[in-house]
Amino acid sequence: MSIETKAEAPNAEIRGAMREFLSAFEAFKHANDERLAALEAKSAEDVVLNEKIERINDAVTEQKAAVDRLALKQGRPQIGSAARVEPDERKAAFFRYMRVGDATAVASLEAKSVNTGADSEGGYLAPNEVERMITAAVKDISPIRQIASVREIGGNVFRKPVSNGDAAAGWVAETTARDTETTAPTLTAIDFPTMELYAMPAATQTLLDDAIVDIEQWLADEVQTEFAVQESAAFISGNGTTAPKGILSYTIAADASKTATQLGYIASGADGAFAASNPSDALLDLIYAPKQAYRANGRFLMNRSVVGALRKFKDSEGNYLWQPNNEPGEPARLMGYPVTEAEDMPDIASDSHSIAFGDFRRGYLIVDRVGVRVLRDPYSSKPYVLFYTTKRVGGGIQDFDAIKFLKFAAS
């Protein structure tokens, strides 16, 4: 009976949070409908009512985030829920290095391995279990990593061949001679170099001496947020030199005249705003800017303030364009397509590219070099022990037709 109670408790918590979220959205719709009715009657904005709507709007956003956190927490495996497995030789050597600084065993193991030579930055490779734990935790937090393609490599650069689409093809009958030689495609290569991402958590020697402390879980918990924050910012606006190249760092041109290595945009119809009349038409134009093959797995990408603005939009029949998903942990939808929130996307402003739409799995590639390295430093910040933890990550556009932007401009 106690087991069933423990299993049902998280579900009951999620259901309760989901009810509060849906209730908050209904309150938001009621208040916004009241605002629209008052606007039609008085032809003027009610400041008090607008403030009420914004408070409810913020509450809807916070409640949605709470539901997502609970769903994510429930989906994670429970630490200690299964019997602990005795550590292998590499794992035991690494944790001895972590706890007391004895690198003899781990250095010996790396020297014997053909796959784990010491990098120039020093440190030792964390065991695979620790790397997987960190990667899974970062994915939970990083919005772009959840929707993009991810590839693991063993080197520092991934080179992807891309066809320019100029290969000849045609139809032929079963018995017709194939005398005409088809044109061979022209291939170019896109390089995705990996950049060093680091975090430096600190621990007391007392914590490290405590055998009860799960040192691998501690390390993952300490670095996951910093890794995720830095990655998320880079995948949006990274410079491509010291960080992965973000989607906003490429040249973004009018979709009708963009080149093969540029991303396209659709104008909102007004400088720093949606058009005064039929503002949602720009969203419809954005959805139909990519080809049908990309729309099949299309989604919106924007920050929470832009979501809050779009939550007020209605169609011609009075239905709200933004709709919550009734399944905990699933994204809300805008005009039928899922919405991913990324706080590093820009707010609505003059000439801002604040909304992206497309198939991000086909459009953006994240490259992870296998291995997380840890360098123990007990000297730089006594009495604390620092753990300089690094991983190499790259990223960039791999298909320039897969992602489109809404630019808040007249044209």
Residue 394 lies in a domain: yes
Contact (CB, 8 A) for 391 and 368: yes
Residue pair 167/183 in contact by the 8 Å Cβ criterion: yes
Same domain, 130 and 69: no
- pLDDT of the residue at 193: 96
Give residue 119's pLDDT. Answer: 46
Angle at 40 between CA 36 and CA 41, to 5 degrees: 115
47 CB neighbour count, 10 Å cutoff: 8
Whether residues 198 and 57 fall in one domain: no
Pick from 60, 75, 90: which residue ends a domain?
Answer: 75
What is the rounded distance in angstroms from the CA atom of residue 34 to the CA atom of residue 50?
10
Please, are residues 253 and 262 in contact by the beta-carbon 8 Å criterion?
A: yes
pLDDT, tens digit only, all 411 positions of the chain: 444 444 444 577 767 666 776 777 777 777 777 776 776 666 556 666 677 777 777 776 776 676 666 666 665 544 444 434 445 788 888 888 999 898 888 888 777 664 444 444 578 888 888 888 888 888 888 999 999 999 999 889 999 887 665 556 667 777 666 656 666 666 778 999 999 999 999 999 999 988 888 888 899 889 988 999 999 999 999 999 999 999 999 999 999 999 999 999 999 999 999 999 999 999 999 999 999 999 999 999 999 999 999 999 998 888 999 998 777 668 899 999 999 999 999 999 999 999 999 999 999 999 999 989 999 999 999 999 999 999 999 999 999 999 999 999 999
**At residue 69, what are phi and psi to the nearest 5 degrees?**
-65, -40
pLDDT at 298: 97
CATH number of 405's domain: 3.30.2400.10
In a domain, 173, yes or no: no
Q: Would you state the structure tokens that stand for residue 306, as one six-digit string?
A: 């832009």
Question: Is residue 328 assigned to a domain?
Answer: no
For residue 94, is it within any domain?
no
Say yes or no: 273 and 397 in one domain.
yes
In this prediction, residue 373 carries a pLDDT of 92
Task: Say whether both 135 and 56 belong to one domain.
Answer: no
pLDDT at 358: 98
Domain assignment present for residue 178? The answer is: no
Q: What is the DSSP string of 40-67?
A: HHHSS--HHHHHHHHHHHHHHHHHHHHH
| H or E element in which residue 287 lies | helix 281-287
CA–CA separation, 382 and 53 (whole Å): 51
The pLDDT value given to residue 4: 43
What's the confidence (pLDDT) of residue 109? 74
Identify the pLDDT of residue 82.
42
Residue 59 structural domain = 2-75
Q: Does 388 reside within a domain?
A: yes
**Residues 189 and 69 reside in one and the same domain:** no
User: Which of 216, 218, 198, 213 has the alpha carbon at shortest distance from 128?
Assistant: 216
Give me the amino acid identity at 170: G
pLDDT of residue 56: 73
3-state helix, strand, coil in the chain (%, to 5): 40, 25, 35
Q: Which of 62, 9, 76, 71 is nearest to 307 (CA)?
A: 62
* Same domain for 150 and 41: no
Q: What is the pLDDT of residue 179?
A: 58
Residue 87 lies in a domain: no
Distance between alpha carbon 115 and the CA centroid of its chain, in Å? 30
Residues 54 and 130 in one domain: no
Contact of 236 with 145, CB cutoff 8 Å: no
pLDDT of residue 180: 60
Rounded to the nearest 10°, the torsion over CA 250, 251, 254, 259 is: -100
- Taking the C-alpha atoms of residue 307 and residue 1, their distance in angstroms, rounded to an integer, is 43
Cα within 13 Å of Cα(368), Cβ side: 20
- 77 φ, ψ to 5°? -65, 140
**pLDDT reported for residue 215:** 87
Angle at the Cα of 366 from the Cα atoms of 250 and 257, rounded to 5 degrees: 25
Note the pLDDT tens digit of each residue in 199-256.
Answer: 999 999 999 988 888 888 899 889 988 999 999 999 999 999 999 999 999 999 999 9
Number of domains in the chain: 2
Same domain, residue pair 395 and 296: yes
Q: Following CA atoms 335, 339, 344, 349 in sequence, which dihedral angle do they give, to the nearest 10 degrees?
A: 10
Task: Identify whether 312 is part of a domain.
Answer: no
